[in-house]
Amino acid sequence: MERTFIMVKPDGVQRGLIGDIVSRFERKGWKLVSGKLMMITREQAERHYAEHAEKPFFGELVDFITSGPVFAMIWEGDEIISLSRLMIGKTKVGEAQPGTIRGDYASHTPLNLVHGSDSQESAAREIANLFADSDIISYDRAIESWI
């Protein structure tokens, strides 16, 4: 079972899309093991987007992600890292397919509503950046005995 870090970005929070995004993950069958509304610090934002430090849009990315509250979550599921990125949709608005979160709601690439980890290494690093081990809740769902 994989774990991934999912974050509704400030635009998604301000547009009232937390519920829609959480609902899509719930309906897919994935398990929420932590979630919180929070302001991320500049240091946390720079660590989160460290891979983009040399890109021309890095400053704007950090400014944007720290500009208002985000809804940070940890979800579990089989192959959830690749499957959740399919559900989120492509980064560029012109490539995000209808039916995906970005395809349905994003109309400007930098305002793409939601983040999802792109590998197990990224997920572990991104989760450790914003959560303590004690924030993660382990629980059983009866339905899991059938998977």
Ligand X SMILES: Nc1ncnc2c1ncn2[C@@H]1O[C@H](COP(=O)(O)OP(=O)(O)OP(=O)(O)O)[C@@H](O)[C@H]1O
CA distance 112 to 62: 14
Q: Which of 19, 68, 99, 110 binds ligand X (CB under 6 A)?
A: 110
109 contacts ligand X (rule: CB under 6 A): yes
CA distance 144 to 27: 15
Residue carrying structure tokens 């012109």: 94
20 contacts ligand X (rule: CB under 6 A): no
Nearest CB to ligand X, comparing residues 51 and 144? 51
Q: Which of 112, 123, 127, 131 binds ligand X (CB under 6 A)?
A: 112
129 contacts ligand X (rule: CB under 6 A): no
Q: How far is CA 126 from CA 50, 72, 97, in A?
A: 10, 10, 26
Query: Residue 52 catalytic?
Result: no
36 contacts ligand X (rule: CB under 6 A): no
CA distance 52 to 46: 9
Q: Which residues of the chain form contacts with ligand X (CB under 6 A)?
A: 52, 57, 61, 91, 109-110, 112, 115-116, 118
